[in-house]
Amino acid sequence: MQQIIEVIKQAFGSIPFEQLLREFILYSTKEPWFFTEFSFLFTFGIFLFFYALLFTQNSFRKIYLIAFSLFFYYKSSGPFLALFVFQIVVDFLFARKIENKEGTSKQIWLGVAVLFSLSFLLYFKYPNFILENTNWLLLTHFEPVDLFLPIGISFYTFQSISYIVDVYRGEIRSSKSFLDYAFYMTFFPHLVAGPIVRAKDFLGQINSPENLDARRYKESLFRIVTGLIKKLLIADYLGKYVDMVFDNPALYTGGENLLGALAYSFQIYFDFSGYSDIAIGLALLLGYRLKENFENPYGSTNVTEFWRKWHISLSTWLRDYVYIPLGGNRKGALNTYLFLLITMLVGGFWHGASWQFVCWGAAHGLALALHKAIHKHLPEGKWMDFLGGIFTFSFVTFCWIFFRARDFDTALLLLNQMAIATSETDFIGFWFSRNELAILLVALLSWTIIPGNWKRKAFELTFYVPSFFWFFFLLAALQLIIQFRDTLVQPFIYFQF
């Protein structure tokens, strides 16, 4: 017995507890804590154990989850946690004030509240954009400022604005419980990269989370594992080739540049939808349901349908808080087209402080306006749907080039290579030199044409699979992830927004 005790002491004595504790407590803005980190998954497992013990204790459960969510945010943004908490407190008070006002006073309080929320986003995200364009226009010489962009600020800013505006419109009552509002704003699965959650969809769930029955358990695990596979096995693998091509398009043939753009289309989808899947799965484990953020967008037959299925939480936010307030389709055709363009310009600018994102948004806005103008005159039928799907996917991929390239010159160089240096031998050479990547791209292209309802039915069928199968499914999935994932896991793409 004494020997066993000595062995245990020696084993635990070799573990650098002080170092582990230091790493656990300290934050890193350069290496944010995200769902694919082993340290997060391990910590979440411990958190989940105590969460289950507190599940029936409403107040303690909420406080415990808020505390973990704030710790999750601290691990990525450190002292900016204080700014986040300050914004939560002030927005809560603004909403209470707005609800109790009428007429012009109510409108003024709304304007102040929205400007307050936007002020942080504008200060941290757009100062260099403003300075650069001021220098260009006025021939001034302002130096760029070195500011850290707090992770998730674009998402939680839009989320707080939606809450305040919904209270102003009378669509929801302001939360009387600060604890409930803090829970809604800090809920860690959606905190740093969405989905952008509406208060009317979530506040009602806070005090009545659903129990984790067999179906919910299977669904949550399936979503988490699927999200990890999307991110670690597909998106990160594609990202290595994408980075090579976009870093220096001149070194590659036109065909390789074309395939690089194609690879990025799939990389950003599987990266972001993978994050959304993990977020939805984690929320389900905790008893809450987040709305879907993607619905087979690359199977869309036109650009309007694409934006109903891509980043749904953002596209519906832009519709409800920009497009419809501008006038929507109620002020004539020309104004409708203008409002669509303005809405997508806002969407582009939300993504990043550069003219590339503005150009990306403008291209989608013009495409939406054009489709709005001609869709009633287009012939119908399966062949038109097929051709529309090819055109829509090609257009979206073309726009992603400006979204991904570090500047306009790189984007134009890539397009130039595609236009003048492409031949059929590029693709033959690619097939033999990068066979695994070529097979993956063919598989993903084939996957896009599978109807979305088929995928949903296949997903539903998984719930009827015997429970013991799930054990083997998890083992196989984890083995794949461990064996084939890159040693350096890339942050989720939308963390930068």
Q: Counting beta carbons within 10 angstroms of the beta carbon of residue 135, is it exposed (0 to 12), middle (13 to 18) or buried (19 or more)?
A: middle
CA distances to 162, 168, 194, 321 from 165, rounded to whole Å, are: 5, 5, 19, 8
Q: Is 372 helix (H, G, I), strand (E, B) or coil?
A: helix
CA distances to 81, 153, 198, 400 from 160, rounded to whole Å, are: 16, 10, 9, 28
Catalytic (active-site) positions: 351
Residue pair 221/474 in contact by the 8 Å Cβ criterion: yes
Q: Look at residues 133, 156, 7 and name the one whose alpha carbon lies nearest to residue 77.
A: 156
Residue pair 97/103 in contact by the 8 Å Cβ criterion: no
The CA distance from 128 to 144, in Å, is 5
Residue pair 402/411 in contact by the 8 Å Cβ criterion: yes
92 phi, psi to nearest 5 deg = -60, -45
Q: Look at residues 72, 298, 80 and name the one whose alpha carbon lies nearest to residue 191.
A: 72
The CA distance from 81 to 371, in Å, is 43
Q: Is 327 helix (H, G, I), strand (E, B) or coil?
A: coil
How many residues are present in the chain? 497
The angle formed by the CA atoms of residues 56, 59 and 60, to the nearest 5 degrees, is 75
H-state helical runs in 319-378: 324-326, 333-351, 355-374
Q: SS3 breakdown of the chain: % helix, strand, coil, rounded to 5?
A: 75, 0, 25
